[in-house]
Structure 1
């Protein structure tokens, strides 16, 4: 089984959207038993809170469930619990890498750390913009959806060997 962790700053906008969208794509591909999915934030401001209202409205409009999702912070064991740690922007990736660097060698795990838009070079940006500040949840959804399609294709290749 492969495990994916999506990471953004507060874990209420981008990463829960990616978690919910990816979960739907994995279910549609019949791979729910093969791929585990979660999300987390680098900051602790929103721990325990549901996704942002804008994320919920967007997911509701597409019939995508976010049931039971609550914000949490990235923790050391995530590096051994997950195979893929997928960050929403350069800052998130730097923060996650700094957490990893603070771990002992045996805690590092084998997780692949990268940005979601590394898989979407034609997007013209490496950062999924934060709709908490921009309000543009539609733009974020389009980027996340495309990135999740590419991520699923990559994981299918990895599973096939």
Structure 2
């Protein structure tokens, strides 16, 4: 049983905060006591979640108002039982940062062999598609965590 999950993207303002919120909501609904965090490999440290991400999340009953971007550290990797990343480059970054992460870093879209692209500064329709892909990925992982 996993007790600590980490979601990871690039800037920690679009994909990973939304994935964190989705996972947290679903795990709480299921009565699971799992800590969920998010970070970025090139985080815009201290920045809030992207405006479109916040608005679309709010439309789904998720608040990202308190989120502030953080840079992933070796400590994040060490604490996490499972790390869900959006793209293969994120996995590669983590393995270079901390080779001990091997075996606990997977794509969020692993089960459907999906890479979740970065919507930053793209159209709202891209954000909507990315949010749906994240929700699907979260759903695919829920029975496994």
Q: 1:2 to 1:89 in 2, by over 3 A?
A: same
Deviation at 1:79, TM superposition (A): 2.1
1:111 offset after TM fit, Å?
6.4
Partner of 2:109: 117
Cα 1:59–1:114 shift into 2, 3 Å? same
Q: Structure 1: which 5+ residue stretches go unaligned?
A: 102-107, 156-161
2:122 equivalent in structure 1 = 134
Q: Please report the TM-score for the alignment, with normalisation by the length of structure 1.
A: 0.82
Q: Distance between the aligned counterparts of 2:87 and 2:103, measured in 1? A: 17
Cα contact 1:83–1:111 (8 A) shared by 2: no
TM-score by length of 2: 0.90
Query: 64, 69, 72: which is aligned to 1:71?
Result: 69
1:60-118 Cα shifts (integer Å, max 9, x gaps): 111112242110011011222100011011111111111113xxxxxx36861111111
Q: Distance in 2 between matches of 1:109 and 1:9?
A: 18
Unaligned runs of 5+ in 2: none
Change (3 A) 1:110 1:35: farther
Give the CA deviation at 1:30. 1.5
- Two-structure CA RMSD over aligned residues (Å): 1.6
Give runs of ≥4 in structure 1 deviating > 2 Å: 108-111
Question: Rg: which structure is higher?
Answer: 1
**Residue 50 of structure 1 contacts residue 69 of structure 1 at CA under 8 Å; is this kept in 2?**
yes
2:57 aligns with 59
Distance 1:153 1:13, change over 3 A: same
Q: Secondary structure at the match of 2:69?
A: coil
Q: C-alpha offsets along residues 23-82 of structure 1, whole Å, 9 cap, x if unaligned?
A: 111121121xx21100000014x1011100111010011111224211001101122210
